[in-house]
Chains A and B, each alone.
Chain A
Amino acid sequence: MKWLRPWFQSALLAVGSIVFLFPLWWMVVVSLETPKRAGAAMTGQGGIALWPTDPQWGNYSEALAEMGSVPWVGFINALANSIVVTTLVVIGTVLSSSLVGFAFARLRWRGRGVLFTLMLATMMLPGQVTLIPLFLLFRGLGWIDTILPLAVPAFFGNAFFIFMYRQFILQIPESLVEAAKVDGHGWLGIWWTVILPLCRPVTAICAVFTFIGTWNDFMGPLVYLHAEEQSTLAVALNSFRNQYGGLDDVHLLMAASLVTMLPCILLFIAAQRQFVEGLARGAVKG
C-alpha cells in the first residue's frame, strides 16, 4: 500500500490546486468573452465554456482605456498612484519592522517585555475599529486627499512583521553582532550592514505580503483619497460598476482585474524561493 501514498498525495494536491486556480481561470475566460456571453454568464442566462472559443484580446486594451473618465489617463494615473503608494509602504514596513524587531530581539532595555506584549496585543484590534479615529486624526493633520495617511503609518512598523523579524533575528548568532561591534559599528550600523542582509527570507515575506496587501487595498485609498486622479488601481476598478452598483461590462472588469493582479503574481514568482524558505524557517525555528 506504500506505493499508493505518493499517488494519493499528488491527487489530493491536484484537486486542491484546481479548486484554488478555478476562479482565476474563470476570470481569464470571462475576460476574453464577448460582452453578450459574459453578461449572460453573470446573470445565469448562459454558460461559459472552460476554454474561450473566440478569444477577444481587444478586451484588454479596451478595459484599460475605459478605466476612469478620460481614456487611458485614468489607468495611467491609477497605476502611477498604486506604484508610488505601494513602494513607499513596502519600504516603510520593511525598514521600520526590521528595525523594531531588531531592537526587541537584541537590545536590552527596561520595559522591553511589556512593550512587546502590548505591541502583539494591537494585532487583536480589527482595522474597522481604528478606521474612524484614524480618519479624524489624519483630517486634523490636514492629510486627507494626500497619500500621507496611506504611506506614513507604514514607517511606524507592523506588529505582525515586527514579530516575524524578532523571531528570525533571535536565531542569528549573538557573536555576529559582537563581531560587528568590535569592527566599529553602532546599533544602527549593525542593523543595516549585518542584520538586514541576513533577514532576506523574512524581508521577502514582509515585502510580498505588504505589496499584495497595499496593491489590492480598496478601503484605505477610498477613505483618504477622493479625487479621481488620486485613485489607485483597486479603486479605479470600481469605475466599471454602473451608477446602481451593477456590472454592465463584466468582461472588461475581469480583464482590468487580471492586469491589476499581474504585478502581484510576478512578484510572488520572483520572490518564491526566499518566501518559501522564510516560511519554512519560521515554522521550524520561530
Chain B
Amino acid sequence: MAVVNGCNIPEDLLYDVDPDANAFTWAKDNGDGTFTIGLTSVAAAMAGRLVAYTPKKVGKTVDRRKSVATIESGKWVGPVPSPLTGEIVEINEALKGNPALANDDPYGAGWIAKIKPSNPEEVNQLLKGQSAVDALTKVINEKGIKCG
C-alpha cells in the first residue's frame, strides 16, 4: 500500500480522481455484480471529521459523479460523487451512527454505499495501481493535505 503524507492509498482498489468534480473516491469489485464505494483517505482528510452521513435511498439509481450521499463535517458539507452509474443496493447503517468511521477506516468500516453498476464500461474509466497513486499524490501535494 502506498502512503503519501500519511494518506493510505491501497493499490488493489479502483479510484475516481478529479479535483474539478470533487471526486476523490474508491470502488471495489465485490465479484457479485456489485461494487463497494467510499471516500479515499485524501477526501476524508480534506472534509475533516465527519458528523453526519445522509445517504440516498436504497433502490435509487445515481449517475456517475452524482451524489450518492451527503456528508458533513464542521467545515464542509457536500456530496459524495458516485464513481459509477448504478442502483444503490446497500447503504452503511454503521456510518449513520458513527460518521467518523469514514475518517478512521475509509477503506473498511467507513464505506459509503454499495452500487450495482448499469454501465460496466465506466469501470474502465477508473484509475488503478500506480496511475491512481500518482493522481492522488498530485492532489495531496497541490492542496497540502496531511492524513492522520
A, B bound: no
Chain B residues within 8 Å of A, Cβ to Cβ:
none
Chain A residues within 8 Å of B, Cβ to Cβ:
none
